[in-house]
């Protein structure tokens, strides 16, 4: 075929009815298959176009139009056609009423024009050229009879004359029928937009109501068809869920009408920012390094009188990220004489061997004190309690009081510092390479109250927590002019004892002591916004409220001890106290060490209940 199927269908309709429109596809197919209608149309088109071309060479456009309208078109027809082209005196067709044909029954379903009653007969007029009807004097040829018979057997007159979609537009000579317009699917709006960022490991919620507001009014519901791997869901137009891995993701949401037709499609771009905690690596420290120690450490002791002591020390994230060593150290010890000793030390991060300095300062000091107190037979306790009884009348501490502190606290601390100097000489390293802070506390219950003696050099804090959520800071905090600056244990403390050692001693008696807490700056810096907050009792109790549940964890025996021995490098990482020290505060990733003394029969539940009543 030289033209489209629609082209021939509209030409057939125009020739048979005088109007533009369509027959049913099966009728058109029958005409094209069983007649030479296609060939006739093609021949007519070629002759018509040739005639128009010849006529266009006239003098004026008007003359051309007149010639085109007045010259009859003649085209030869094959001998076997069912139609004969009309001669000039047969151009005007006569209308033939086919009412009877419209009312006649047909096996083929008929299309009913919109708005008409099915029972009402439709009268249609078909213009048939007179030359298409055989005259009485003309006998059809044998081939013509065969052709007509085949047409009549394959296509009924009613099928041929029944249009599917009659259009009122009439084709003019030379017009090309427009192709039929198939029904169009509803258009889908495509929109890409960014939605607020989320953070890995955190809950996410975003209202998608704005999508509905901006969409067509026919959109009544939205559906998440692709979460992009985020794990988010839609509930009540809210995009919610717990965000997992960090990265850039694309989610696809569709908007549908009540009948389910998709009318809108949104591509939502979501950036999930990595949780800062997830960016930190935890690399094991080198077990073969000089002065290597476990990445964390835990100790628990109970005195004969029932006082409980706890110590926990953990390597900071700044060290774990690069596989460094833990510079902090902590020691707790009870004596048969009823004294409880606690010490925590923070090795200077800028000094390569400070981890050994913190260990020597804390362990040798506590060992020296324990040895002295075991042999003391109450001298230190008696002198201090007597001073409290007479301090209102004494302007300066008596010599016995100073001698007792000298032989106990001063001498023990000096043993710790001496051990550092000896190790520096043995390793051919400067003493400064072992720099460390040190917080020390001694506790002794007595009938007059709980006696507490403390010494502190460097940062961190020592506090006595009392009933009623009060607290007393028991050390002077050595804070430098800049962050991270502090004072370390050195020879000047002992060489200038009156100015630098004894002023650091704190001695006090408490009648309502609940707990004694020592903490390095890896804990106090994130817990207390400033050094002034260290003076506030409520700040210490808030910290203790978080810590108390971890104090009732497993004892360092049995399975826990076996686990600790099995991994000498990592240490007891699953201990509740270690998990407590693993809290995350942006910008604070130093080593953390604490030591706690707890009054007998004072559990975390009782302490928290008292705190709640106070509040």
Look at 163-177, 277-291, 468-482 and tell me which has the smallest mean pLDDT. 163-177
Architecture of 291-614 per CATH?
A: 4-Layer Sandwich (3.60)
Torsion angle of C-alpha atoms 159, 160, 162, 165, degrees rounded to 10: 120
Question: What average pLDDT score do residues 349-378 get?
Answer: 93
Chain-centroid distance, C-alpha 143 = 82
Look at 39-48, 477-486, 539-548 and tell me which has the smallest mean pLDDT. 477-486
Cα(424)–Cα(82) distance, rounded to whole angstroms?
123
Q: 83 vs 517, which has greater pLDDT? A: 517
Residue ranges of the chain assigned to CATH 3.60.40.10: 291-614
Report pLDDT digits (tens) over 265-274. Answer: 999 999 999 8
Q: Say what the pTM is.
A: 0.62
Can you give the pLDDT at residue 161?
44
Can you give the pLDDT at residue 513?
96
Residue ranges of the chain assigned to CATH 2.60.40.10: 189-278
Can you give the pLDDT at residue 515?
97
Look at 373-382, 427-436, 448-457, 600-609 and tell me which has the smallest mean pLDDT. 600-609
Report pLDDT digits (tens) over 160-190. Answer: 444 444 445 566 666 666 655 555 566 888 9
Can you give the pLDDT at residue 603?
46
Can you give the pLDDT at residue 421?
97
* Phi, psi for 253 (deg, rounded to 5): -125, 135
Which secondary structure element, helix H or strand E, spans residue 66, and what is its range? helix 61-70
Alpha helices in 287-398, H assignment, sequence order: 317-320, 354-376, 379-390
Can you give the pLDDT at residue 182?
55
Chain-centroid distance, C-alpha 9 = 60
Cα(12)–Cα(5) distance, rounded to whole angstroms?
11
Report pLDDT digits (tens) over 543-565. Answer: 999 999 999 765 544 444 444 44
Nearest alpha-carbon partner for 420 in 487, 372, 350, 362: 362
Tell me the sheet residues that pair with 250. Answer: 269
Cα(556)–Cα(577) distance, rounded to whole angstroms?
11
* Phi, psi for 333 (deg, rounded to 5): -160, 140
Say if residue 295's pLDDT is above 90: yes
Cα(37)–Cα(31) distance, rounded to whole angstroms?
7
Q: 270 vs 376, which has greater pLDDT? A: 270
Q: Write the CB contacts of 572 (distance below 8 Å, at least 6 apart in sequence).
A: 296, 297, 298, 556, 560, 563, 564, 578
* Phi, psi for 127 (deg, rounded to 5): -85, 115
DSSP helix/strand/coil, 93: coil
483 pLDDT tier (thresholds 50, 70, 90): low
Can you give the pLDDT at residue 183?
56
Can you give the pLDDT at residue 1?
63
Please tell me what DSSP assigns to residue 38: H
Architecture of 189-278 per CATH?
A: Sandwich (2.60)
Report pLDDT digits (tens) over 200-246. Answer: 888 999 999 888 888 888 888 889 999 999 999 999 889 999 998 88
Question: According to the 3-state scheme, what is the secondary structure of 232-292?
Answer: CEEECCEEEEECCCCEEEEEEEEEECCCCCEEEEEEEEEEEECCHHHHCCCCCCCCCCCCC
């Amino acid at each position: 075929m030289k033209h489209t199927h629609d082209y021939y269908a509209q030409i057939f309709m125009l020739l048979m009815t005088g109007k533009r429109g369509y027959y049913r596809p099966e009728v058109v197919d029958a005409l094209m298959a069983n007649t030479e209608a296609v060939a006739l149309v093609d021949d007519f088109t070629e002759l018509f176009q040739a005639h128009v071309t010849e006529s266009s060479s006239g003098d004026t456009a008007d003359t051309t139009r007149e010639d085109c309208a007045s010259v009859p078109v003649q085209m030869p027809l094959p001998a076997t056609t069912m139609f004969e082209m009309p001669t000039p005196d047969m151009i005007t067709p006569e209308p033939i009423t086919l009412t009877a044909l419209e009312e006649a029954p047909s096996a083929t379903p008929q299309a009913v024009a919109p708005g008409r009653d099915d029972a009402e007969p439709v009268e249609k007029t078909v213009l048939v050229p007179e030359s298409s009807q055989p005259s009485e004097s003309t006998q059809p040829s044998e081939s013509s009879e065969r052709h007509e018979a085949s047409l009549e057997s394959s296509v009924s007159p009613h099928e041929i004359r029944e249009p599917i979609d009659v259009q009122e537009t009439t084709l003019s000579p030379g017009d090309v029928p427009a192709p039929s317009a198939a029904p169009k699917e509803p258009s889908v709006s495509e929109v890409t937009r960014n939605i607020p960022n989320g953070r890995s490991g955190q809950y996410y919620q975003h209202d998608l109501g704005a999508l509905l507001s901006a969409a067509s009014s026919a959109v009544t519901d939205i559906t998440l068809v692709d979460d992009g791997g985020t794990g988010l869901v839609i509930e009540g137009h809210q995009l919610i869920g717990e965000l997992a891995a960090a990265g850039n993701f694309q989610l696809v949401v569709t908007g549908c009408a009540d009948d389910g037709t998709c009318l809108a499609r949104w591509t939502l771009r979501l950036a999930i920012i990595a949780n800062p905690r997830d960016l930190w690596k935890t690399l094991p420290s080198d077990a073969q390094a000089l002065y290597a120690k476990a990445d964390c450490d835990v100790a628990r002791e109970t005195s004969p009188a029932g006082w409980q002591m706890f110590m926990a020390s953990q390597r900071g994230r700044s060290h774990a990220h690069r596989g460094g060593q833990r510079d902090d150290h902590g020691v707790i010890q009870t004596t048969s004489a009823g004294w409880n000793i606690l010490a925590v030390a923070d090795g200077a991060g800028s000094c390569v061997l400070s981890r050994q300095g913190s260990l020597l300062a804390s362990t040798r000091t506590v060992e020296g004190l324990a040895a002295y107190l075991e042999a003391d037979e109450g001298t230190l306790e008696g002198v201090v309690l007597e001073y409290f009884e007479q301090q209102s009348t004494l302007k300066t501490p008596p010599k016995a009081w100073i001698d007792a502190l000298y032989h106990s606290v001063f001498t023990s601390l000096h043993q710790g510092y001496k051990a550092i100097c000896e190790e520096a000489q043995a390793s051919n390293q400067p003493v400064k390479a072992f720099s460390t802070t040190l917080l020390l506390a001694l506790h002794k219950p007595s009938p007059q109250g709980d006696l507490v003696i403390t010494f502190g050099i460097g940062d961190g804090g020592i506090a006595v927590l009392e009933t009623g959520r009060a607290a007393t800071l028991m050390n002077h905090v050595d804070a430098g002019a800049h962050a991270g600056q502090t004072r370390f244990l050195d020879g000047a403390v002992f060489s200038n004892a009156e100015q630098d050692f004894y002023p650091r001693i704190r001695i006090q008696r408490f009648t309502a002591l609940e707990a004694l807490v020592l903490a390095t700056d890896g804990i106090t810096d994130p817990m207390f916004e400033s050094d002034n907050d260290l003076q506030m009792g409520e700040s210490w109790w808030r910290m203790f409220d978080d810590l108390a549940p971890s104090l009732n964890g497993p004892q360092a025996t049995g399975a826990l001890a076996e686990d600790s021995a099995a991994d000498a490098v990592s240490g007891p990482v699953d201990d509740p106290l270690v998990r407590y020290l693993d809290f995350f505060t942006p910008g604070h990733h130093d080593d953390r060490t604490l030591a706690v003394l707890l009054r007998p029969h004072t559990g975390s539940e009782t302490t928290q209940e008292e705190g709640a009543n106070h509040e």
